[in-house]
Amino acid sequence: MTTTTLARTAARVVDAVKVYGSGDTAVRALDGVSVDFPAGRFTAIMGPSGSGKSTLMHCAAGLDTLTSGAAHIGDTELGRLDDRRLTLLRRDRIGFVFQAFNLVPTLTVAENITLPLDLAGRRGDPEWIDALIDVVGLRDRLHHRPTELSGGQQQRVAVARAFAGRPEVVFADEPTGNLDSRSGGEVLGLLGRAARETERTVVMVTHDPVAAAHADEVVFLADGRLVDRMTAPTADKVLDRMKAFEVPS
């Protein structure tokens, strides 16, 4: 079983280049990155500030377009899609957890969870959603508004929403950036559990070695390039690897 999941990639980028601006002020945020995100695994993208990790995630998730190279979700090449198809792809095949402001304030917790499904006009799988609600532990908050929840609870709702439509990949952008370590730990544990128990692919951008340690594998980015990969990470190992970046070589 392990071999089959490893053989499939849920998302990948090939020779990804992203340039912001032009002329003298041009910044190469991504400088020829190629990386696969295997299906059914929890991958963390690490790197110092300005390493291009967020840009990589945005491009891989179809939120941003590459200057050159290609990004794939499953067998679909994102560069060929127009705005509408990209939107539909995000809606039907991808889940998102952002650092903050994940929820629509006018909708209740339950409505926020099913938002992508509602936008698609689908009913989704009630048993699946029911199970998700139990996993994130928010059954007693379903009819609350986001403003009535703590930051950690809000992020847990966002995680539930990301998984509600059974997406192929869930992208998380610094999901614990605004949380204290206890709530952060809860959210990360949740992401990992959701990935493993539901066999979903999760890609998380973070700069926090403790967060990265929850992943199955860590890819390291620096100056827009892929510099290393690490399986079975621990916080200490990741920290050591990160320290290496700061030493001028």
Partner 1 sequence: MNASVRLSASSLRAHKRRFAGTFVAVFLGVAFLAGTLVMGDTLRASFDNMFGNATSGTDAVVRSADAITTPGESEGVREPVAADLADTVEQVPGVAAAEPSIEGAGQLVGRDGDPIGGQGPPTLAGNWITDEKLNAYRLDEGRAPEKSGEVVVNRGTAERGDLSIGDTTTLRTPDPVKVTIVGLATFGGEDGMAQVTYTGMTRADAEKYLTARPGEAATILVRAGPGVSQQELVDRLTPALPQGVEAITGQESAEENTDMISGQFLSVFTTFLLVFSGVALLVATFSIHNTFAIVVAQRTRENALLRALGASRRQVTASTLVEATAVAVTASLAGLAGGIGIAAGLQALFPAIGFPFPEGDLVISGVSMALPLAVGVVVCLGSALLPAVRAGRTAPLAALRETAVDTSGASRARAITGLGLAALAVGITLNGVLVSPNIWLAGLGAVLALAAFVVLGPVASTTAIRILGGPLGRLRGVTGGLARRNALRSPKRTAATAGALMIGVAVVSLFTVFGASLKATMDQTVSRSFAGDVAVSAPSFGAGGSGLSPRLAEAVQDLPEVDTAVGLGRGVAEVDGKGRALTVTDPAALERTFDLGEIRGSLNDLGTTGIAITEKEADKHHLTTGDKTRLTFTDGSTQTFTVRAVYGQSELAGDYVITRSAWAPHRTQDADTLVAVSFADGVSTDAGKTAVEKAAADYGNPEVQTRDEYAQSSAGAIDMMLTLVYALLALAVLIALLGIANTLTLAIHERTRELGLLRAVGQTRSQLRAMVRWESVLVAAFGTTGGLALGAFLGWVLVKASDGASDSAFAFAMPPLQLLVVALVGLTAGALAGLRPAKRAARLDVLRAIATE
Sign of the dihedral defined by the CA atoms of residues 178, 16, 70, 18, in that order = positive
Stretch that binds partner 1, among 24-32, 102-110, 186-194, 228-236 (CB under 8 A): 102-110
Q: Is residue 82 at the binding interface for partner 1, with CB under 8 A as the rule?
A: no
Q: What part of residues 138-157 is at the interface with partner 1 (CB under 8 A)?
A: 145-147
**CB distance 71 to 78 below 8 Å:** yes
Q: What part of residues 173-202 is at the interface with partner 1 (CB under 8 A)?
A: none
Burial 38-70 (b: 16+ CB within 10 A, else e): bbbbbbbbbbeeebbbbbbbbbbbbbbebeebb
Query: Minimum distance between the CB of residue 146 and partner 1, rounded to whole angstroms?
Result: 8
Ranges of H-type helices in 17-168: 53-60, 83-93, 109-113, 115-120, 126-136, 151-164
- Between 2 and 147, whose beta carbon lies closer to partner 1? 147
- Between 105 and 126, whose beta carbon lies closer to partner 1? 105
Query: Minimum distance between the CB of residue 149 and partner 1, rounded to whole angstroms?
Result: 12
For 157, residues 6+ apart whose C-beta sits below 8 A from its C-beta are 102, 103, 109, 112, 113, 136, 138, 141, 146, 149
- Between 120 and 244, whose beta carbon lies closer to partner 1? 120
What secondary structure letter does DSSP report for 81? -
For 156, residues 6+ apart whose C-beta sits below 8 A from its C-beta are 136, 137, 138, 186, 187, 190
Query: Minimum distance between the CB of residue 91 and partner 1, rounded to whole angstroms?
Result: 2
Query: Minimum distance between the CB of residue 176 and partner 1, rounded to whole angstroms?
Result: 17
End-to-end CA distance of the chain: 41
Query: Minimum distance between the CB of residue 139 and partner 1, rounded to whole angstroms?
Result: 22
Stretch that binds partner 1, among 4-12, 109-117, 174-182, 186-194 (CB under 8 A): 109-117
Query: Minimum distance between the CB of residue 244 and partner 1, rounded to whole angstroms?
Result: 29
- Between 27 and 232, whose beta carbon lies closer to partner 1? 27
The binding site for partner 1 (CB under 8 A) comprises: 58, 63-64, 83-84, 87-88, 90-92, 96, 98, 101-107, 111, 115-116, 118-121, 145-147, 161
